Amino acid sequence: MTTEVQKNTTRKLFIESYGCAMNFADSEVVASIMAEVGVEITTEEMEADIIFINTCSIRDNAEQRIRNRLKHLRHNKKLNKKLTIGVLGCMAERLKKQLLEEEKLVDIVAGPDAYKELPILLQEVEEGHKAINVILSLEETYADIQPTRLNSNGVTAFISITRGCDNMCSFCVVPFTRGRERSRNPESILAEAKDLVAKGYKEVTLLGQNVDSYLWYGGGARKDFNKLTEEEQSSSISFAKLLEMVAQVDPSLRVRFSTSHPKDIHDEVLFVMQKYDNIAKHIHLPAQSGNSRILEKMNRTYTREWYEMKYNRIKELIPHCSISCDIITGFCSETEEDHQDTLDLMRTCEFEFSYMYFYSERPGTLAARKYEDDIPEEIKKKRLTEVIEVQHEVAKRLNKAQEGKVHRVLIEMQSKKNENEWMGRNEQNIKVIFPKANYKMGDYVDVRVERSTITSLIGVGVS
């Protein structure tokens, strides 16, 4: 597709990303597609001829942030009349044509499966039209695109392994903005991991909304396991197999993955984690709530007991595995007792860290259609504050318990607060800060922890 479009050697593109890691990974796909047609990538917003904003719709405030950003871009457009502005990603997909009507300065609207069309959309704009493509695909995985790494530290990188989501949690907009779930060809995943190793990268994170439901069989990206022939079923590649294959690429490549849905993470994945030292011992296992009635309303398909059973199984097989969580407060009909169940879950499970939000109704979702958004905002926020307080207590205690212990840390960047210190992460995905000494970016260092805070461990290199 892209070869039909004239090479354009004069234009410079600035890409700004919002939302989850998958959006950031997609921006790297977009950068690669645009570079193919001769567009140069710039990190200087003011020298750009094209600005792409890769957007997120997960909560109302995510969209408001982007609306504000677009307002600011009016100024850029005044200074440069020829500036092309494209809105990509989930908000483009959710609002479609409406976005062009509401935000007059926007020239291009492209949904997450339409990025290969961007050069053509750009050409339409050059011919004086507004351009839009929000068609969702059942097949597109961008497996054939080698991402151009943006703002890279040269040490850690994301690899997308699935796109879309079939889960239909009632609060969630993702199935509508990202479409049906599909898995990416494992060969292209392995090739990307090998290429990253050859370029000196030390860590990859395999990405998907629900990585544990990754499934590849004989040339098909869509999954419906029950409809496969016996032969296809036996030659299929599950997430556990894929994880093992990626772990085998290089023993010094640290492998992470995110996100795991409690209903889909199976023992096979845990066995592979046990077997390979280079698979980081951390699982992001969002619970969303600690109350079974709310979980049912959320359509999470597990109960509080099931969640705890999964949690205990992980800790039984991999005792030093950290588990992190996502929590939503004030979902439709949540009572004070339901909320107390969430606080109780957090005290029981002791998550190393959590991402915590108050419920934001998203138009078109199951919850928006079926349930009343009946918890007043101040109560949602009060509950959120309580959830954050419990998480902080827990994290403080867990981090304190690491003082005196030695952790293997991969150096990712200079500490933001002190230019004489490095920042890296241990296997459990906790930040570790320590003096630079003679260590360099990308080194694995054994660090003895001396102090700790809610969010990090502070120590000194001993290897």
Question: Which positions touch ligand F3S (CB under 6 A)?
Answer: 19-20, 22-23, 56-58, 89-90, 173-174, 177-178
Query: Does residue 156 have a cis peptide bond before it, meaning omega lies within 30 degrees of 0?
Result: no
**What percent of the residues of the chain are helix, what percent strand, and what percent coil, each to the nearest 5?**
40, 20, 40
How far CA 81 is from CA of 49, 74, 77, 107, in Å, comes to 9, 10, 5, 12
CA distances from 140 to 114, 182, 189, 225, 422 (A): 9, 8, 14, 19, 39
CA 321 to chain centre: 20
Q: How many CB atoms lie within 10 A of CB 290?
A: 25
Binding to ligand SAH in span 31-90, by CB under 6 A = 58-59
Asked if residue 86 lies in contact with residue 48, where contact means CB atoms within 8 angstroms, the answer is no
Q: Is 360 in the site for ligand SAH (CB under 6 A)?
A: yes
Binding segment for ligand SAH (CB under 6 A), chosen from 224-232, 246-254, 355-363, 388-396, is 355-363
Cβ proximity to ligand F3S: between 88 and 246 the closer is 88
- Residues sharing a CB contact under 8 Å with residue 416, sequence separation 6 or more, in sequence order: 423
Angle between helices 336-349 and 377-400 (to 10 degrees): 10
> Which of ligand SAH, ligand F3S, ligand SF4, none lies near 27, with the C-beta cut-off 5 to 8 A by kind?
none
The reply on whether position 330 binds ligand SAH by CB under 6 A is no
DSSP annotation of 147: P
What residue has token string 């929000």? 134
210: contact with ligand SF4 by CB under 6 A:
yes
CB closer to ligand SF4, 176 vs 311: 176
**Shortest distance (Å) from residue 362 CB to ligand F3S:** 9
CB count within 10 Å of CB 301 equals: 15
Query: Using the rule CB under 6 A, is 356 a contact of ligand SF4?
Result: no
CB of 257 to ligand F3S, least distance (A): 16
Look at residue 175 and give the partner it binds from ligand SAH, ligand SF4, ligand F3S, none, a contact being a CB closer than 5 to 8 Å depending on partner kind.
ligand SF4
**Which residue number, 299 or 414, has a Cβ lying nearer to ligand SF4?**
299
Among 116, 261, 339, 380, binds ligand SF4 (CB under 6 A): 261
Number of Cβ atoms within 10 Å of the Cβ of 238: 20
Cα–Cα nearest to 229, from 240, 220, 241: 220
Q: Which stretch binds ligand SAH (CB under 6 A): 32-40, 197-205, 359-367, 384-392?
A: 359-367
Comparing CB distances to ligand SF4, the nearer of 289 and 399 is: 289
Q: Least CB distance from residue 197 to ligand SAH, whole Å?
A: 27
Phi/psi for 425 (5° steps) reads: -125, 145
Report the nearest approach of ligand SAH to the CB of residue 358 (Å): 7
| Residue 398 structure tokens | 């867990």
Rg (CA), the chain: 23
Q: Which of residues 252-311 bind ligand SAH (CB under 6 A)?
A: 259, 261, 286, 288
Contact set with ligand SF4 (CB under 6 A): 165, 167-169, 172, 174-175, 209-210, 261
Contact set with ligand SAH (CB under 6 A): 58-59, 171-172, 174, 209-210, 259, 261, 286, 288, 326, 328, 357, 359-360, 362
